[in-house]
Structure 1
Amino acid sequence: MQDITRALVELMDLAPAGDDHFQGQSEDLGFPNLFGGQVLGQALMATTRTIEGRMPHSMHAYFLRPGNARAPIDYEVQRVRDGGSFSVRRVIARQDGKEILTGSVSFHIEEEGFDHQMDMPDAPAPESLKNEQELNRHLLKQVPEKFHDQLTRNRPIEIRPVDPINPMAPEIKPPSKQSWFRAQGELPDDRILHRCLLAYASDFAFLGTSLNPHGVAFLTPNMQVASLDHAIWFHRDVRMDDWLLYDKDSPSAFGARGFNRGNVYSRDGVMVASTAQEALIRRRKPSK
């Protein structure tokens, strides 16, 4: 296992901190604030520590405050209900006593049932594409130096965009995006871990889908962008150490909010998860 992958696995390994309380460390990815996907993955892991014999099938969360990438996070899990087939847990993430995320996770027993899915859309093979760091290195002369580390830092999840944009000169494009992603090393055979890492990765490059039709990007001057909420549904088991296609679209944007949807497919065409997110996409008026 590569060191960067081992660090990601350790990031999901929360420490007990009392009854149904857990503590997670933070990871600095070079973003201005704590990466929201990290809180999603750790919050999901915290809820799984309070249940046995059931797998998480959905998670719905709200981002309440920006997180600090240099401070630990406390997770409180509340046992809402344990039924015959389903269980529900509520989770609250805090830093310095303030809530930064709140959410609910539903668990289901494994049982037989109807089976269908949408076909995986066409996409070029990941081997034919460059990853984000390779693409961004060609842009460094156009980008302020303060963003260089953010754009080129090696991360535990490798992402290969299908139709990449130039964040310094974005073009108007249809409200849809595709990318391949995977962990940068072999992972343990832990079904829970793979779902938590999928929740972690599902927040990468998601809200930008709603920016496509407007010809702006996160580096566009006077743009304020942030994830407001996030939902993920786990349909089938997933392997995060093999390539996954993230197919995204944005049906609507209005009132400084953009709505995004996504489907995640394994390389052999199996739909493993779906996502939805609303984001703040505000163009602030220039200062006088």
Structure 2
Amino acid sequence: MKNIKELINLLNLTEIENNIFSGESVTIGSPNVFGGQVLAQSLNAAYRTVSELRFVNSLHAYFLEAGNLSIPINYHVEEVRTGGSFSTRRVTAKQNDRSIFILAASFHKKEEGFEHQTKMNSNIKQPEDLLSWDDMVVKFGAFLPKLIKHFLSIERPIEFKPVRVPNPLDPENLPPTEEIWFKLKGDIPEMDIPMKQQILTYISDYNVLNAAFNPNAKEYNFGNTQTASLDHSMWFFRDFDFNDWMLFSAESPNAFGARGLGKGNIFTREGKLVASFAQEGLMRPIKK
């Protein structure tokens, strides 16, 4: 995928029966289906069964098995409850009748209430002063390890600019945090709230485990560690636009027992808190 139009086409599922939808997969460099894709497609399926006046306020998901890139994924939606203010849906993603993923999502009608939010870190470099993943391949491609170069070279509909770029040739242990600016590629169409939330869900599965790797980066990395998303949760707060850079800010409070936990927030460039996320991932050192 090269741009946002192709990503939207990927997320828009085909209805094959009542409350059953089907979607295809596109690799992001892994031999398996990208977790963010299954998350976002599941949300697309759930949205197709709720009132257009309700919007997702939270989702909680478990990754059960690795998805096969060559097989369509069918999404089965169960209408658990539709109340006066909230609707709840359960989505099961299947390949060859095997469940590979489950999601529960809550949808809420718009209501007025008091508010507060945590503040974005303002003491960081702006995206104009940083290199994107594409820039890194052009500038440092001849020196990058093969696996890193391959991953960074994959065409994506999102541009990422990490605030801190570690040296892969001389790794060092770092604080358990990760901050990355991101922006959509291509001409950005007018989008409703559901589609913006689906795209944000897709993006949210990138970069989470980086924060959990950082304190032990001298010894462990994605090349010598088996990794996989185990579960993923998101909470959605405010409407937003994709017309400018946004900040993905993560921290890892714990890594233990071959699992790492990452959590954090997503802000607009102006500091408006759009969503929060949490994910636990498998981080199993590969025995030599």
Question: TM-score, normalised to structure 2's length?
Answer: 0.93
Aligned partner of 1:19 in structure 2 is 18
Q: State the Cα RMSD in Å.
A: 1.6
Aligned partner of 1:218 in structure 2 is 222
Asked if 1 retains the 8 angstrom alpha-carbon contact of 2:144 and 2:168, the reply is: no
Aligned partner of 2:184 in structure 1 is 183
Once the two structures are TM-superposed, the CA of residue 261 in structure 1 deviates from its matched residue by 0.5
What percent of counterpart residues are identical?
A: 42
Q: Please identify runs of 4+ aligned residues in structure 1 that moved more than 6 A.
A: none
C-alpha distance in structure 2 between counterparts of 1:169 and 1:26, whole Å: 35
Asked if 2 retains the 8 angstrom alpha-carbon contact of 1:209 and 1:250, the reply is: yes
Matches within 5 A, 1:162-201: 162-167=163-168, 169-185=170-186, 186-201=188-203
Matches within 5 A, 1:1-288: 4-52=3-51, 53-122=53-122, 123-137=124-138, 138-144=140-146, 148-167=149-168, 169-185=170-186, 186-215=188-217, 216-219=220-223, 221=224, 223-286=225-288
Asked if 1 retains the 8 angstrom alpha-carbon contact of 2:3 and 2:158, the reply is: no
Which amino acid in 2 is paired with 1:104?
Answer: A
Which amino acid in 2 is paired with 1:261?
Answer: K
C-alpha distance in structure 2 between counterparts of 1:80 and 1:168, whole Å: 51
Asked if 2 retains the 8 angstrom alpha-carbon contact of 1:167 and 1:218, the reply is: no
Residues matched between the structures, number = 282
TM-aligned CA distance change 1:40 to 1:282, over 3 Å: same
C-alpha distance in structure 1 between counterparts of 2:43 and 2:232, whole Å: 12
Secondary structure of 1:87's counterpart equals: strand
TM-aligned CA distance change 1:196 to 1:233, over 3 Å: same
C-alpha distance in structure 1 between counterparts of 2:142 and 2:99, whole Å: 36
CA offsets 1:11-48 (integer angstroms, 9 cap, x no match): 11111010100011111222221111011111011100
Secondary structure of 2:70's counterpart equals: coil
TM-aligned CA distance change 1:169 to 1:21, over 3 Å: farther
Asked if 2 retains the 8 angstrom alpha-carbon contact of 1:197 and 1:240, the reply is: no
Once the two structures are TM-superposed, the CA of residue 169 in structure 1 deviates from its matched residue by 4.1
C-alpha distance in structure 2 between counterparts of 1:88 and 1:167, whole Å: 44
Secondary structure of 1:165's counterpart equals: coil
Asked if 1 retains the 8 angstrom alpha-carbon contact of 2:65 and 2:100, the reply is: yes
Asked if 2 retains the 8 angstrom alpha-carbon contact of 1:161 and 1:178, the reply is: yes
Gaps of 5+ in 2: none
Gaps of 5+ in 1: none
CA offsets 1:232-268 (integer angstroms, 9 cap, x no match): 1001112234211011100111111111001000011
